[in-house]
Amino acid sequence: MAIPVIDFSKLNGEDRAKTMAQIANACQESGFFQLVNHGIPVELLERVKKVSSEFYKGEREENFNKSKEVDFLDESSEKLENVDWEDVITILDDNEWPSKTPSFQETMKEYRFELKKFAEKVMQVMDENLGLPKGYIRKALNDGDGDNAFFGTKVSHYPPCPHPERVKGLRAHTDAGGVILLFQDDKVGGLQVLKDGEWIDVQPLPNTIVINTGDQIEVLSNGRYKSAWHRVLSPVHGIRRSIASFYNPSLKATIAPAPQLVEKTNQQVEQTYPKFVFGDYMSVYVQQKFLPKEPRFQAVKAV
């Protein structure tokens, strides 16, 4: 079993209907899919790879090698249950940028600009597949017609681990927010998705963008699209690079199942998710990220 690989460029040709169906099926069945021919310049992606690797090597690797996780694995035979074998920073528009890596700021700003536009194209496809008005999901995440959504980019590196059986690169979880766009390493694997009780590898492919749906897309779609459990295994050889961008709701946004997916002609479809403010959901999520997701939806304060 493999994660679907879909040619995004075919949305503009005679294969549009087939491609739309492939994306809809992926959102429904696995919550994960890879997009090729997505329109993000390969030259830009190559620069992102270069500056990310240089940034880790020049500004992060030494400190990671002195971290408590490294010391604990060296000194103990126990498993590390509550930490991840991951070096990570989060980039925002008003970021305090790394100063020692040439072109890092310029490249990542350009990359984030392209990824945000692309995220909105992906959401329009979801709107159409779900039978929602164009721009519905974007408007829900932005809490209106403005530009209020949270768009963050997480730059992660997973160094070689001497005891990968004792610590995960990233523990199993679902993502709290909306649409996640991942530019993963094309050589060092480790990302896995839970499908029908089995962990499936998200195969490394050059210059693809991996899409997965977060908890809020599950709510907005009234459960038609599920957020998927996923994890990262600690690598044995090589440094795994992972750059995930999150198009998440504004903390003030009110999230609820789209009325079009609850009310049907001559019948009622059960609404299985409460209506809530995303900031309230995040307060629950930070405490329960690695626990079953269903209680999170019910624990959040309903509006």
User: In this predicted structure, what is the pLDDT of residue 93?
Assistant: 84
Could you report the per-residue pLDDT of 288-301, keeping only the tens digit for each? 999 999 999 989 87
Digit-coded pLDDT (tens) for 34-77:
999 999 999 999 999 999 999 999 999 999 999 988 888 888 77
Do 276 and 256 contact (CB within 8 A), yes or no? yes
b/e for 100-131, b at 16 or more Cβ within 10 A? Answer: ebeebeebbeebbebbbebbbebbbbbbbbbe
Both ends of the chain: CA-CA distance in Å? 41
The CA-CA-CA angle for residues 238, 242, 243, to 5°, reads: 150
Sign of the alpha-carbon torsion through 279, 97, 289, 222: positive
Decide if 242 contacts 160 (C-beta within 8 A): no
Using one digit for the tens of pLDDT, what is the confidence trace for 175-188?
999 999 999 999 99
Total domains in the fold of the chain: 1
Q: How many residues does the chain have?
A: 303
Residue among 184, 187, 181 at smallest CA distance from 217: 181
| pTM score over 0.75 | yes
What was the pLDDT predicted at 150? 96
The average confidence (pLDDT) of the chain is: 94
Question: What's the confidence (pLDDT) of residue 53?
Answer: 96
Distant-in-sequence, close-in-space partners of 213: CB < 8 Å, separation ≥ 6: 27, 31, 178, 179, 180, 225, 226, 227, 228
Range of the domain at 15: 5-300
**Tokens (6 digits) for 42:** 């390969």
User: What confidence tens digit (pLDDT) does each residue in 147-181 have?
Assistant: 999 999 999 999 999 999 999 999 999 999 999 99
- 2 has a pLDDT exceeding 90: no
Distances (CA, A) of 276 to 129, 149, 226: 24, 16, 18
* CATH code, domain carrying 278: 2.60.120.330
**Could you report the per-residue pLDDT of 65-124, keeping only the tens digit for each?**
999 888 888 887 788 888 999 999 999 988 889 889 999 999 999 999 999 999 999 999
CA distance 251 to 265: 33
pLDDT at 270: 64
Measured from the Cβ of residue 179, the count of other Cβ atoms closer than 10 Å reads 25
What residues contact residue 191 under an 8 Å CB cut-off, 6+ apart?
Answer: 182, 184, 201, 202, 210, 230, 231, 232, 242
